Structure 1
Amino acid sequence: MPESALARKMKLKSGAKAVVVNPPDGYLAELRPLPNGVSLGDKLQGSFDWIQIFVKNEAELEKTLPRAIKAMKPVSILWISFPKGTSKIQTDLTRDKGWEALEKADLKWLTLVSVNAVWSAFAARPFKSGEAR
């Protein structure tokens, strides 16, 4: 069975060691089916190729981000999912505000995607050697 459109959009690759932290109810069903050979965890223990964290506000981002960064490999993609402004979830994160912790982490911003009707996600990765900051 081919992977879900969401897994493709979020660049989840075959064989990846992946983790989703604090997913909302029903989210993992949206992410499935996964690409072949993906192992999916729910705790930031060890290192991962693909990491997705769900945070509702800047305080949760500041609390979770250091553990997520510690679990990254040099080629990892980190997705930070946050509530859309149109969702009913109270948040102080927007596309343009609340990302100081991510900026301080010295990660390269890659893209912003719509996860579903409630959540958006920024992708980031470590800078490659010699890459402009």
Structure 2
Amino acid sequence: MHPIEKKLQFKEGSCLLILNLPEPLAELVEAWSLVSVFQEKLPEDVNQADAMLVFVKKEEDVKAAAEVVNHHLPQDGLLWFSYPKKTSKRYTSEVTRDHGWEALTDIGLRPVRQVAIDDDWSALRWRPDPKA
């Protein structure tokens, strides 16, 4: 098991849908052994993913991904949104830990955990908000 798989709480045999994977992270994802990884779309015979990892830099990215989440992730699915750290020298972002997530809060989600993917990317886990 790769340490990032453990950090992101992926379960063995899960179907993981990744959106907007940055090229420099492709090698990292290829090393993951617990999950079946699909990029950008699921195969025709799979309706929903067990988990999603979405990379975003702009609020429009979050908004577009929110629609995919609604269609391809069950309510109890594992959902992570990854965004560039403020300290990243490689990427700039209008999304931060505290800003840019309105599209997710609008569909009744709230952030519950934050982890580091690498020196450039952080990830926020999202779950249904019991108050929504």
- Give the TM-score, by structure 1 length: 0.84
Asked if 1:6 corresponds to 2:8, the answer is no
Asked if 1:105 corresponds to 2:107, the answer is yes
1:25 maps to: 23
Poorly superposed stretches of 4+, deviation over 4 Å: none
Contact (CA 8 Å) 2:104, 2:110: kept in 1 or not?
Answer: no
Instruction: Give the 3-state SS of the residue equivalent to 1:26 in structure 2.
Output: helix
1:114 maps to: 116
Aligned residues: 126
1:80 maps to: 81
Provide the alpha-carbon RMSD of the alignment: 1.7
2:127 maps to: 125
Offset, 1:21? 1.2
1:40 maps to: 37
For 1:53, the aligned partner's letter is V
Identity of aligned residues (%): 27
CA distance, structure 1, for counterparts of residue 118 and residue 76 of structure 2? 26
For 1:41, the aligned partner's letter is F
Q: Structure 2 stretches of 5 or more lacking a match?
A: none
Contact (CA 8 Å) 1:83, 1:120: kept in 2 or not?
Answer: yes
- Give the TM-score, by structure 2 length: 0.85
CA distance, structure 2, for counterparts of residue 34 and residue 51 of structure 1? 16
For 1:49, the aligned partner's letter is D
Q: Structure 1 stretches of 5 or more lacking a match?
A: none
**Structure ranking higher in strand proportion:** 1
Offset, 1:68? 2.2
